[in-house]
Amino acid sequence: MSKPIYVTQPYLPPLEEFIPYLEKIWENKILTNGGPFHQQLEQALCEHLGVEYISLFTNGTIALVTALQSLRITGEVITTPYSFVATSHSLLWNGIKPVFVDIDPNTLNLDPAKIEAAITPQTTAIMPVHCYGHPCDVEAIQKIADNYNLKVIYDAAHAFGVEDENGSVLNHGDLSVLSFHATKVFNTFEGGAIVCPDAKTKVRIDQLKNFGHVGEVTVVAPGINGKMCEFNAALGLLQLKYIDQALELRKKIDVAYRERLAGVKGIHCLSDSGQTIANYSYFPIMVEPGYPISRDDLYQKLKDHGIHPRRYFYPLISDFPMYRGLPSSHRENLPVAAVAAQQVLCLPIYPALEMSVIDEITRFIAAQ
């Protein structure tokens, strides 16, 4: 490759379009603490995503930590080992014990059939992940939660704009948490949000993300500084103008990959399922035993060729030192997740990715 190709690149609108936003920030002299752009972005996102209430955060990890605090989650939480470490780290930061259960082999999401066996008297919640933006089996998970009086907090970092037959997937569960990191479909460079169902919950979340303040001299909870500043909110408003265009380009890239890899033995493209509107946030392939070389060998060969895919997610969260001592981390408990961690490779996908590059990537994969 003439220049390195990475798995993702942030979509950057024209710089000259951001200048008026920057000038307005300077004119207002309001840089943070729920300024005008912050308020505008919250409203715009509610309308765009089809949700009632949203609270913006400085990043998705702080949003996860705060979501757990807002619902007063304690004890044990059932979650997936197949995710980015922020999912389970947010539990540890709250003194909560993660309990890992295996994933579904088709969606790579938390397997509802494995959840009930992991419930104990200490279980207070379930934290699933809409992996790669593919919706979890939300109905099955909610049924289990209702039967055992558990809360459900969705790590929806990948699921911006995704809808199922009932509308936005962000409306499922008690809370959904988004990431607006630079690698995400919609980004504010750094940022995140919590989607919640009612005004009372939003008030508590907003208090917690601002140190627990309720007014100038009163603090009611041990909150944190999780506020999104005006600069990032302005970036979000500008990005939102281009999101439909960006998603359409991602869709074309997704289709192109599937067409070109359809006949390659041992390469399986993970299917989009359970959604009426997708966001094409990742393009994961499974490098299965029928392929001539291993996933890791293909990964290295692509890197040597100037193409930088990612092994999302490898290793499993349960393999990291702070988790591997947990009984639920034992490999025999997580056979599907263990296979996925050894086989999945996410290929480059972003709006500016050219078809000629996709041709080169897919030809390279087919030629091994």
Strand pairing report for 163-164 and 192-196: unpaired
Residue 13: what pLDDT? 84
Please tell me the distance from the alpha carbon of residue 340 to that of residue 148, in angstroms, as a whole number. Answer: 29
Tell whether 3 is covered by a domain: no
Tell whether 41 is covered by a domain: yes
Q: Is residue 234 located within the same domain as residue 276? A: no
Q: Is residue 49 located within the same domain as residue 99? A: yes
Residue 201: what pLDDT? 97
In Å, how far from its chain's centre is CA 179? 6
Name every residue whose Cβ is closer than 8 Å to that of residue 132 and which is 6 or more positions away in sequence.
Answer: 108, 158, 270, 281, 282, 284, 312
CB atoms near residue 19 (< 10 Å): 10
Residue 273: what pLDDT? 74
Q: Is residue 199 located within the same domain as residue 253? A: no
Q: Which of 182, 215, 239 is the last residue of a domain?
A: 239
Residue 10: what pLDDT? 78
Tell whether 224 is covered by a domain: yes
Q: Is residue 194 located within the same domain as residue 261? A: no
Q: Is residue 211 located within the same domain as residue 286? A: no
The CATH number for 26's domain is 3.40.640.10
Tell whether 7 is covered by a domain: no
Strand pairing report for 192-196 and 151-155: unpaired
Tell whether 256 is covered by a domain: yes
Name every residue whose Cβ is closer than 8 Å to that of residue 273 and which is 6 or more positions away in sequence.
Answer: 106, 107, 134
Q: Is residue 50 located within the same domain as residue 194? A: yes
DSSP count for the chain of H helices, then E strands: 10, 14
Q: Is residue 162 located within the same domain as residue 290? A: no
In Å, how far from its chain's centre is CA 4? 25
Measuring CA to CA, which residue among 137, 93, 83 is closest to residue 319? 83
Q: How many domains does the chain have?
A: 2
Q: Is residue 211 located within the same domain as residue 271? A: no
**Token pair of 7, please?**
């798995």
pLDDT tens, residue order, the chain (368 aa): 778 899 998 778 888 999 999 999 999 999 999 999 999 999 999 999 999 999 999 999 999 999 999 999 999 999 999 999 999 999 999 999 999 999 999 999 999 999 999 999 999 999 999 999 999 999 999 999 999 999 999 999 999 999 999 999 999 999 999 999 999 999 999 999 999 999 999 999 999 999 999 988 999 999 999 999 999 999 999 999 999 999 999 999 999 999 999 999 999 999 877 788 999 999 999 999 999 999 999 999 999 999 999 999 999 999 999 999 999 999 999 999 999 999 999 999 999 999 999 999 999 999 99
Q: Which of 205, 239, 273 is the last residue of a domain?
A: 239
Type of residue at 128? P
The CATH number for 280's domain is 3.90.1150.10
Residue 11: what pLDDT? 77
Asked whether the beta carbons of 239 and 186 are under 8 A apart, the reply is: yes
Q: Which of 215, 239, 263 is the last residue of a domain?
A: 239
Sheet arrangement for strand 123-127 = 53-57, 192-196, 175-179, 151-155, 123-127, 76-79, 97-100
Q: Is residue 113 located within the same domain as residue 150? A: yes
Q: Is residue 289 located within the same domain as residue 272? A: yes
Q: What residue numbers bound the domain in which 67 lies?
A: 15-239
Tell whether 276 is covered by a domain: yes
Name every residue whose Cβ is closer than 8 Å to that of residue 9 and which is 6 or more positions away in sequence.
Answer: 350, 352, 353
Extract long-range pairs of 321-328: CB within 8 Å, 24+ residues apart: 322/92, 323/81, 323/88, 323/98, 323/100, 326/97, 326/98, 326/99, 326/100, 328/98, 328/99, 328/100, 328/101, 328/118
Tell whether 148 is covered by a domain: yes
**Token pair of 76, please?**
């044990």
Q: Is residue 313 located within the same domain as residue 343? A: yes
3 state SS for 266-292? CEEECCCCCCCECCCCCEEEEECCCCC
Please tell me the distance from the alpha carbon of residue 98 to that of residue 82, in angstroms, as a whole number. Answer: 13
Q: Is residue 43 located within the same domain as residue 125? A: yes
Tell whether 50 is covered by a domain: yes
Beta bridge partners of 194: 55, 177
